[in-house]
Structure 1
Amino acid sequence: MVENPAGFWVRFGAKVIDALIFIVLGLILGAIFSDGTSEWVSNIISFLYALLLPIFWYGYTVGKKALSVRIVKLDGSQVTFWTMIKRNVIAWIVYGLPSILGFIGFIVIFGVSGLDVFMSEDLMSDEVLGELFKGFAWLMIGLILSGVLYVISAFMIGLREDKRAIHDLIAGTYVTKNKPNL
């Protein structure tokens, strides 16, 4: 049973705080590693932060703790590793699937005929431009559909009584203002 759910703006604020932490981390890592290593190191740390910190810190990230909200399972209990895998990995695959399919469509179009066309002498021909248009159309449609899923989730948080987004539905979680029972 969902008790005292957190709305859109407080959740958004927590995300902004967490993002600022990783901007600073990225700048620090960028100063340390000048060979491009900082980006993938920062991405790995960010992924582990979102996945593991709520498990060990009663559903909090730094942003959520700062704004006094936390992630819990539907019964109000502590999130588990599997819960966070569903919330952060499976759900993000769902959000990203249209983009992934759009990218695959882009690759397939170029794999089938695009690369051959690019080897031709006339790069401004109707054939080359047509292949480019089809490939980018697939890619843009995928990106737009992924964006639509994010917007739908934002509206779900804002409009649903239980304030649950797509990733909450997948993982069986919600974000609450309730403090943990220690």
Structure 2
Amino acid sequence: MKLFENPAGFWRRFGALILDGIVFMIIGFLFIGIDNKDTRDSINGVVQLIYQTALPIIWFGYTLGKRALGIRIVKKDGGTPTIGTMLLRNIVGGIVYGITFGIALIVSIFMVAIREDKRSIHDFIAGTYVTSNPPSKEGLVD
């Protein structure tokens, strides 16, 4: 497979982010009965981290939003992301966006919109990219 084959562009990635946000809102309603806002926010944050980290590992790079739009996260070689890959992508990438007060996020938006490989800062950190290619048949379980 060619490196960075069929990279997904900004609008599909953004649409998947919106759909995943709707999933988080629905999940958040499950915790609405918890009176302590800090506890509720903490639980919601942990659920989101698990969703964004574990689901792509067990589901060939997909989240629900990405699956709906036909895109998925893969390692640079086209393989399914590992736990280390996803922790780098989500946690370290998130830290970079946070310590730059969102400036790195704005740079990432331009990178996905302009670069030929459509990779953002968190993709570079984790050695990933987002592709329109489905998983290979060898990786699927019948």
- Normalising by the residue count of structure 1, what TM-score does the alignment of the two structures yield? 0.71
Displacement over 3 Å in runs of 4+: none
| Residue 151 of structure 1 pairs with residue 106 of structure 2 | yes
Identity of aligned residues (%): 47
In the other structure, the counterpart of 1:109 is none
User: Which is greater in Rg?
Assistant: 1
Unaligned segments of structure 1, at least 5 residues: 99-145
Q: State the number of aligned residues.
A: 134
Aligned mates of 2:62, 2:126 — CA distance in 1: 16
Residues 53-97 of structure 1: CA distance to partner in whole angstroms, max 9, x if unpaired? 100000000000000100000110110011111111111111112
72, 76, 79: which one pairs with 1:77? 79
Q: Which amino acid aligns with 2:127?
A: G
For residue 38 of structure 1, report the CA deviation from its aligned partner: 2.1
Q: Aligned with 1:17: secondary structure?
A: helix
Structure 1 or 2: larger helix share? 1
Aligned mates of 2:40, 2:68 — CA distance in 1: 26
Residue pair 2:53, 2:90 contacting (<8 A) in 1 also: yes
In the other structure, the counterpart of 1:5 is 7
In the other structure, the counterpart of 1:35 is 36
Please report the RMSD computed on the Cα atoms of aligned residues, expressed in angstroms.
1.0
Aligned mates of 1:27, 1:161 — CA distance in 2: 39
In the other structure, the counterpart of 2:140 is none
| Residue 174 of structure 1 pairs with residue 119 of structure 2 | no
For residue 40 of structure 1, report the CA deviation from its aligned partner: 1.3
